[in-house]
Amino acid sequence: MMATPRNKSVQKAFKMLRAFQEPNEWLTSAELSRRAQLPEASGYRLIQTLLEIGAVIRDDRGRYGPGMLLVSLSRYVAHERLLRDAANTILEDLAAELDLIVHMGVLEDGMVTYVAKAGTNERFLVHTRVGTQLEAYCSGLGKVLLAALPAHELEAFLVEGELIALTPNTITDAHAFRDEIALVRRRGWAIDNCEIANDLRCVAVPVIDSSGRTVAAISSSDSADRMTEARLSEVRDALAMAARAIGAQIYRTSGPSPFRLPAVGTEAPLLRSGKARSIGLPGRQPH
């Protein structure tokens, strides 16, 4: 049986639309064509078609931006459901491989919202469910998602509330937290080292879209005594492979991993020395 031929015009149109990288970005026809890797003449003709159907709009300086057609179409896409449906089978297979619980989360109003959960761990119960939230500053998922924020948004997060110690390992100093996020950005993954619960250690990695942006994070946890550095490294690598598979499923991404995966402990010790401030009320408290 012959394969159905691909419509190259449709492919080019979507390449052009994906050339926009920011919601408020305005670009010339030539700039869009270069980003989409299309000849300027054919890019211009394509943009005129997109303009006619409302997929892009043009300002009085002749620059183009995303149009209302994209807004109206996006109303019919539930982002969290799309992530969950695309990831479920991958997460279930990963949980079975690791014999651990695996979570997927997104950042909402400074908190992590669980959008998917797979697996069981009879040795170490994790009382979570899809739709519930947890603190971002002391969780592996949260650190990965916060590391993807622009600098001004991360600063706004730190200003909005105090980092309350949930365990002696919780990072509560803003300067130390910035250093932690910088480390997550350098290595591409994060650890919750008994920071949200005394005997829970977690590792998390980002899910990346086709433009390289973090859209979600996936993690796995176990008791601190079982999640040794060697085991953590193994779990982290399995998570990274699953994250790539999820990205390929949703965004048709391909190629090498965007994460840097050195051996655990080569850039910074896993266990930090020192203690946080005395434990206060659970969760962040507004300033």
pLDDT above 90 covers a percentage of the chain that reads: 14
- Together in a domain, 35 and 176: no
Count of structural domains, the chain:
2
Last residue of one domain, picked from the residues 25, 40, 74 = 74
More confident residue, 233 or 77: 233
In a domain, 285, yes or no: no
Q: Given pLDDT bands bounded at 50, 70 and 90, which one contains residue 285?
A: low
Residue (of 218, 208, 202) closest to 104 by Cα position: 218
Taking the C-alpha atoms of residue 16 and residue 275, their distance in angstroms, rounded to an integer, is: 51
In a domain, 243, yes or no: yes
Taking the C-alpha atoms of residue 257 and residue 180, their distance in angstroms, rounded to an integer, is: 22
Please give the residue range of the domain that contains residue 23. 8-74
Residue 283 has pLDDT above 60, yes or no: no
What is the per-residue pLDDT for 82?
Answer: 73
DSSP state at residue 97: H
207 close to 92: Cβ distance less than 8 angstroms:
no
- Together in a domain, 52 and 114: no
As a dihedral over the C-alpha atoms of residue 278, residue 279, residue 281, residue 285, rounded to 10 degrees, the angle is 60
Which tens digits make up the pLDDT trace of 53-71? 888 888 888 899 888 777 6
Q: Given pLDDT bands bounded at 50, 70 and 90, which one contains residue 224?
A: confident
Q: What is the CB-side half-sphere exposure of residue 63 using CA atoms within 13 A? A: 8
- Together in a domain, 273 and 181: yes
Which tens digits make up the pLDDT trace of 122-179? 665 667 788 888 888 889 999 999 999 988 888 988 888 788 889 898 888 889 989 9
- Together in a domain, 112 and 243: yes
- Together in a domain, 175 and 242: yes
- Together in a domain, 154 and 217: yes
What is the per-residue pLDDT for 237?
Answer: 92
The label of the residue with tokens 């031929």 reads 5
Element (H, E) at 284: none
Tell me which of 197-201, 237-241, 279-283 is least confident: 279-283
What CATH number has the domain bearing residue 60? 1.10.10.10
Residue (of 69, 55, 62) closest to 14 by Cα position: 55
Q: Given pLDDT bands bounded at 50, 70 and 90, which one contains residue 254?
A: low
Taking the C-alpha atoms of residue 180 and residue 171, their distance in angstroms, rounded to an integer, is: 9
Burial-class residue 94 by CB neighbours within 10 Å (0-12, 13-18, 19+): buried
What is the per-residue pLDDT for 226?
Answer: 87
More confident residue, 17 or 195: 195
When the pLDDT of each residue in the chain is averaged and rounded to a whole number, the result is 79
What CATH number has the domain bearing residue 193? 3.30.450.40
In a domain, 287, yes or no: no
Q: Count other Cβ atoms within 10 Å, centred on residue 15.
A: 17
What does the block give as tokens for 233? 């490294």
- Together in a domain, 268 and 152: yes
Q: 161-172 as b/e, with b when 16 or more CB fall inside 10 Å?
A: ebbbbbbebbbb
Tell me which of 81-90, 180-189, 223-232 is least confident: 81-90
What does the block give as tokens for 177? 């937290």
Q: Given pLDDT bands bounded at 50, 70 and 90, which one contains residue 8?
A: confident
Burial-class residue 249 by CB neighbours within 10 Å (0-12, 13-18, 19+): middle
DSSP string, 36-85: TT--HHHHHHHHHHHHHTTSEEE-TTS-EEE-HHHHHHHTT--HHHHHHH
**Across 99-240, where does the E strand assignment appear?**
102-108, 111-118, 133-135, 161-162, 190-193, 200-208, 214-223
- Together in a domain, 124 and 250: yes
Which tens digits make up the pLDDT trace of 187-220? 999 999 888 888 888 999 999 887 788 888 999 9
